[in-house]
Amino acid sequence: MTSYKREYELTFVPSMEEGQSSFIQSNSIVFSQTAKRVGLMIDFNISKSETSGENSGIIGITNPSKDTIASLQKDGVVTLKVGYKGDIATILVGSKDSVSYDDMGGSKRIELSILEGKASFKQSYMSKNYPVGATNIQIILEIVDHIVSNVPSVESSNPFIIFDFKSYQFPQVLVGDAFELLDNFLKPIGYKYFINKGVLNIVEKNAPLKKLPVILGPHNGMIGSPKQIMDSSDSTKPTTGIEVMSIINYNFDIGRLLSISSEQINGIYKISSVNFTGNSYEGDWISNIRAVEYDGF
């Protein structure tokens, strides 16, 4: 990394109205800032955890135009990419949940509340019958396909493999929220799902998302020293872990391995939660990470 000049790209794609062509994206809004061109000031606070359900984010935009303010009142999907000169990548893909506006006289600010993994009842509702002989893997794959096809903020799934095969001797009837149905099929076989950056990830309960760890130390962005903690995100098995702060790094994905190198602590951990906070002009541009010990190698 040769420069720490802050760059970002914030995109808002309004939900398509009935009858609108999927190729029409002319009403999309893109804000950006590069090392050579200052953009509107944005700030963000994004919290994610390795659990099923919704990650949340707040994104503020200072002094947007009246047309932009009007456009951002619509439903839609928000994508935020951040980083440094010539090196940005996605940290959030989510549905706009709500919007607020504040006129402070000299400046105006609009604030977007974003949820990753959010879907309306119409989008997530699933109803399907399966005959005798259907398998759990077949049903899981079809639930995943339903979510990816119907929830705008979920763009794809990871290339998961499930080894616990089961064939049903009775017809199966699926009715209800697709996310809840997916959880019901995964939990009994020791798997879980979580959504991050527009991807529905399915992994074994204690397995990492990727085997290749993100390396973090004083030489590449660590701020201060890591602290040892007890992580209780899994109420059935609290584990030891660490809490560490770093400059913004889009590679800090929940579920991914983290290799820590410091005077006090060295080891491999699995990221259980991360909080990104930043302001494109000044102040915070950091990641706060919680990770649990990992000895699965």
| Per-residue confidence (pLDDT) for residue 23, from 0 to 100 | 47
Global pTM? 0.89
Please tell me whether residue 195 adopts helix, strand or coil conformation. Answer: strand
| CB of 179 closer than 8 Å to CB of 147 | yes
| Contact in structure between 46 and 92 (CB atoms under 8 Å) | yes
| Sign for the pseudo-dihedral over CA of 241, 217, 253, 84 | positive
pLDDT per residue of the chain (297 residues) written in tens, 0 to 9: 446 899 999 999 998 765 555 444 457 899 999 999 999 999 999 999 987 667 999 999 999 999 899 889 999 999 999 999 989 999 999 999 999 999 877 889 999 999 998 888 899 999 999 999 999 999 999 999 999 999 999 999 999 999 999 999 999 999 999 999 999 999 999 999 999 999 999 999 889 988 899 999 999 999 999 999 986 666 566 678 999 999 999 999 999 999 999 888 999 999 999 999 999 999 999 999 999 999 775
Per-residue exposure over 265-288, b if at least 16 CB sit within 10 Å of its own CB, e if not: eeebbbbbbbbbbbebeeeebbbb
pLDDT of res. 233:
60
What is the pLDDT, as a whole number, of residue 103? 86
What pLDDT does 28 receive?
87
